[in-house]
């Protein structure tokens, strides 16, 4: 497979603080990126997406930043809430293998009361 | 609109058996992709079907296969199960190329 063996990084934040989750992607030709949230026992849920012709996109309480120069993606969550606790994945539309999405290893976000 | 539906939700098999998992995409979605999720390897792409044809394939052995029916429903099959096949198998559908994937809740397969 394309993912490497992984140890899931964890980010712990205080409720009400802002969270920043980072992701490095692999293919400079990838032109579409998505952030997903996965809660225990559920499938990944779409949060926000961005295309390569943009470097920033905002949603409700979330912002995605794309830096194509260093192949880096970040997800910012404002005023983090307990319900935000989950594993977050970035995904790139990996044009090297047709149109399938390749997922990052994920980051576990824990929101402290 | 109903989301992506996967059945069964849980499955327990023994080594050497085979298993078939089912996925119903969101109505109108013609592309169905399958992913394997394990704690050690994360989310790995298995294959994608579009209009009953396999369009893309990941790096998995031939024991993993799939198909898609004319109503876009898809099945995946794993033959000669191994302990390492224990995983959450996720199905996802999308409407068009370069559009977001919508995931089902997955089938948790345990191989004993």
Residues of A in contact with B90 (CB under 8 A): 43-44
Pair of tokens at residue A60: 């409700």
How far apart CA B59 and CA B44 sit, in angstroms, is 9
Asked if the Cβ–Cβ distance from A2 to B45 is below 8 Å, we say: yes
Comparing A25-34, A81-90, B86-95, B101-110, which segment has the lowest mean pLDDT?
A: A25-34
Comparing B23-27, B39-43, B52-56, B94-98, which segment has the lowest mean pLDDT?
A: B94-98
Give the residue from chain A lying closest to B42, CA to CA. A105
How far apart CA B87 and CA B66 sit, in angstroms, is 17
- The separation between CA B23 and the C-alpha centre of its own chain, rounded to angstroms, equals 7
Among A97, A37, A11, B93, which Cα is nearest to A49's? A37
The average confidence (pLDDT) of chain B is 94
Q: What is the pLDDT along chain A (113 residues), one digit of tens a residue?
A: 344 345 689 999 999 999 999 999 988 888 899 999 999 989 999 999 999 999 999 999 999 999 999 999 999 999 999 999 999 999 998 765 556 888 999 999 999 98
Asked if the Cβ–Cβ distance from B33 to A91 is below 8 Å, we say: no
Give the pLDDT score at A4: 37
Residues of A in contact with B4 (CB under 8 A): 43
């Amino acid at each position: 497979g394309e993912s490497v063996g992984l140890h899931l990084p964890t980010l712990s934040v205080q409720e009400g603080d802002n969270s920043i989750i980072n992701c490095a992607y692999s293919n400079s030709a990838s032109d579409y990126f998505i952030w997903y949230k996965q809660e225990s026992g559920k499938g990944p849920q779409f949060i926000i997406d961005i295309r390569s012709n943009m470097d920033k996109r905002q949603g409700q309480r979330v912002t995605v930043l794309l830096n194509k120069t260093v192949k880096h993606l970040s997800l910012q969550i404002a005023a983090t809430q307990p319900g935000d606790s989950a594993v977050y994945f970035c995904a790139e539309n990996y044009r090297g293998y047709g149109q399938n999405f390749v997922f990052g290893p994920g980051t576990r976000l824990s929101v402290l009361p | 609109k109903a989301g992506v539906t996967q059945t069964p939700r849980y499955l327990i098999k023994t080594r050497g058996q085979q298993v078939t998992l089912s996925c119903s995409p969101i109505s109108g979605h013609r592309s169905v992709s399958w992913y394997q999720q394990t704690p050690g390897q994360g989310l790995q792409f298995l294959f994608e079907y579009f209009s009953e044809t396999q369009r893309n394939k990941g790096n998995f052995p031939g024991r993993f296969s799939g198909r898609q029916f004319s109503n876009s429903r898809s099945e995946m099959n794993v033959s000669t199960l191994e302990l390492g096949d224990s995983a959450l198998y996720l199905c996802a559908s999308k409407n068009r190329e370069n559009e977001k994937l919508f995931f089902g809740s997955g089938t948790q397969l345990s191989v004993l």
